[in-house]
Chain A
Amino acid sequence: MNENETNAPDFNRRDFLKGGSVATLMTMLGGVELLAQTNAEPAAAQSAAAGPKVKVALVGLGLWGREILNTLARVPQAELAAICDTYPAAIKRCARDFPNVPSMGDGQTILANQDIPAVVIATPTHRHKDLVLAALKAGKHVYCEAPLAHTMEDARAIALAAKAARQSVFQAGLQARSDPQQYFVLKFIRAGNVGQAVLARAQWHKKTSWHVQSANAEREKELNWRLDKSISLGLVGEVGCHAIDQTAWFLNAKPRAVSGFGSLLVWSDDGRDVPDTVQAAFEFPGGVRLIYDATLGNSFDGAYEMLYGANAAVMFREGKAWMFKEVDSPLFGWEVYAGKDQFYKETGITLVVDASKPKPPAGQVEDPITSTPLFFALQNFVRNAIDVSQAKKSYLEAYGDADPEGLNEHLAKEVQRRPAAGYLEGFQAAVTVIKANEAILSGQRVLIQPELYELS
């Protein structure tokens, strides 16, 4: 990505306009079947010709791990080969819905299994590093949930190991980076349609305790890792990493500093030392800031992200996006035909990637899980794993194994990857939220030097 480090974040017009006026118009109308650009094919059509599958194991069956499991089961190119958790009750819960998938209590067994080329790691954040490093060493393709790690050292270790494992696919769990809807809006923004960036805002409000009960005191401590500030990045890391990364992605810049505040206001009686309400202000180059707030104390207005520009604001909410134009911004013309939704006194013009996609025939309901960002992220991981494995096989068949560097170069340069967050994106997002958490816990402004984002 072209990083303009010294100027204000500028929405890059060049790549979009290169597409030509007809393509621009079609994309603006939001209605063209973006089969080529997005490859967002409905699940029913996909399972008809799924092609080769890859065996995938899942380690970590907590709340999010179960979400991954249900989603992975719907990815036509994935074959669930094993599930794993150190907590027998978690395994039992999943085995009910997936009785035919082997389960085990120890991740090492999976890593040693040569028949399973890909593994998804959804353990608690502080337990990512050992598993990821072992999996990469075993030559597996790895999907590691975000944030990658809770410390700079661990995040760097994971990213460097992924960088060195050139014959493996490494994907960070920043699922928005695989979502066709996000790419659609990104193109729109890069075309300069919102004007000079003014502000970004993101919130995540949900009244919930995060506390998990267990009869066993030791198990309860393990299950409530999110509430222990020595191993948890709290709300800004565990939840905020997605919205914060998305903002950085759309602004095409990385924060230089972050200020933060945190308070424990509602859930203060269970011994936790992690704030249940946080705010953070991220400073991007050129004076643009992202104001992030998250709370476990109130649910009003849920979660959404906003990008405010001099010509228009864009809102992202629940997988959809809307544009709110300023009265003095130039007309495109197509707004007249676009869908609109009312938000109190504001009219939002829908920006939807598949607005004219034929709706499923009556009686046939589209599975909502197969249009979530997580689905696209897992599907792209699996497809990239298949493509890289096949390319490696083809290369070795064609040229033999005398030139491993040639193979690495071929895999890096000539195998097209489907959109996904790689080790660098995962690492940089981790750096940002680790620093944000530092700011929140100290109530201070924390500088993020540019070299912290670099991987040597």
Chain B
Amino acid sequence: MKTRTLIAGTVALLMATALAAPAADQMTAYSSSRGSKIRIEGTANIIHPTWQVESPFIAGMLEVGPGFPTEPGQALTPGKVEARATNVFVQVRSLKSVESNGKLYSDKMDEIMYEHLKVDKYPAIRYRLTELTLKEAPKSKDAPYVLDSKGELAVAGITNTISMPVNVLPLDNKKLKITGSVTLKMSDYKVGPVEPKLLGIGIIKTGDEVKIPFEWMLMQRPLPGAAATK
């Protein structure tokens, strides 16, 4: 009886330890910092064969385990990496249509886009990271680490799983740059086709496929509960 209680107790303790979050000192936390950029690049049949919208904000936090590159030139083994990013978002109203040189394009196109993204009900495009795997270590100190990511992207109320390679580049001063690009079909999120009638010139139809390159800048932060130094 005593032994069984002891064993049960030990098992329970071990399970609790295994299921509990890793100790704070094993995880590194990052929060978004300025300098991020995300673009949605698409096509259309007339007027502007290519279009693009941009936002300078990618918000959210990232928590990573010991297998994740946090310093330049870190020696790491390829494989699964502990990582959590549960509240990454881009405010829909921060997306603005731009010319290819970055100049603002059209308020009206912005409003049409916000309407199609159902901004009043879903003010943000959200992402949740579910899996991260280090594919290879970089060849040089300045080159990024290449990782495979899998996550859930929610746009206009529809959530889909997306997989994409990402480049992670640890920078000086505890900064991090994560870049990547994913190609999606707007119809997978029940968005569009967008057919704006502009100034009576005729019907423009946008293509279904869009490419989303992004650059997410982050900075290390103390984890909640850890010794807080701002």
Are A and B part of the same complex?
yes
Residues of A within 8 A of B104 (CB): 39, 416, 418
A358 engages B57 (CB within 8 Å): no
User: Of B55, B56, B199, which is within 8 A of A45 by CB?
Assistant: B199
Binds B, one of A281-289, A339-347, A387-395: A387-395
Once the chains bind, are A49 and B34 in contact (CB under 8 Å)?
Answer: no
Q: How far does the alpha carbon of A394 sit from the alpha carbon of B55 in the complex, in Å?
A: 10
Tell yes or no: B122 within 8 A of A by CB: no
Q: Does B112 contact A410, Cβ atoms closer than 8 Å?
A: no
Question: Per a CB cutoff under 8 Å, which of A358, A394, A398, A406 touches B93?
Answer: A394
CB-CB under 8 A from B115, the residues of chain A are 49
Q: Does A383 count as interface, using CB distance less than 8 angstroms?
A: yes
Contact for B199 among A33, A51, A395, A410, CB less than 8 A: A33
Could you tell me if A39 and B199 are in contact, using CB atoms closer than 8 angstroms?
Answer: no
CB neighbours of A397 from chain B (8 A): 57, 59, 91
Q: Does A213 contact B (CB under 8 A)?
A: no
A442 within 8 A of B: no
Query: Please, how many angstroms separate the alpha-carbon atoms of A48 and B200 in the complex?
Result: 12
Contact of A383 among B56, B105, B107 (CB under 8 A): B107
A387 to chain B, nearest CB (A): 8
* Inter-subunit contact B57/A398 (CB<8 Å): yes
Please give, as numbers and ranges, the residues of chain B lying within 8 Å of A52 by CB-CB distance: 93
Instruction: Give residues in A with beta carbon < 8 Å to B.
Output: 33, 35-36, 39, 41-42, 45-46, 48-52, 358, 383, 390-391, 393-395, 397-399, 402, 406, 409-410, 414, 416, 418
B230 at the binding interface (Cβ < 8 Å): yes
Please give the residue numbers on chain B whose beta carbons come within 8 Å of chain A beta carbons, in ascending order. 31-34, 55-59, 91, 93-94, 96, 99, 103-108, 110-112, 114-115, 198-201, 230
Closest 8 CB pairs of A and B: A398-B59, A49-B111, A394-B94, A51-B111, A398-B57, A394-B91, A416-B104, A414-B56
Contact B112 A41 (CB under 8 A): no
> By CB atoms of chain A within 10 A, which of B99, B107, B112, B115 has the most?
B107
- Which residues does chain A contribute within 8 Å of B112, judged by CB atoms? 49
Cβ contacts A to B, 20 pairs, < 8 Å = A35-B198, A35-B199, A36-B99, A46-B108, A49-B108, A49-B111, A52-B93, A358-B200, A390-B93, A394-B55, A394-B91, A394-B93, A399-B31, A399-B32, A399-B33, A399-B34, A402-B230, A409-B34, A410-B34, A410-B56
- Smallest Cβ distance from A81 to chain B, in angstroms? 21
B216: min CB distance to chain A, Å: 11
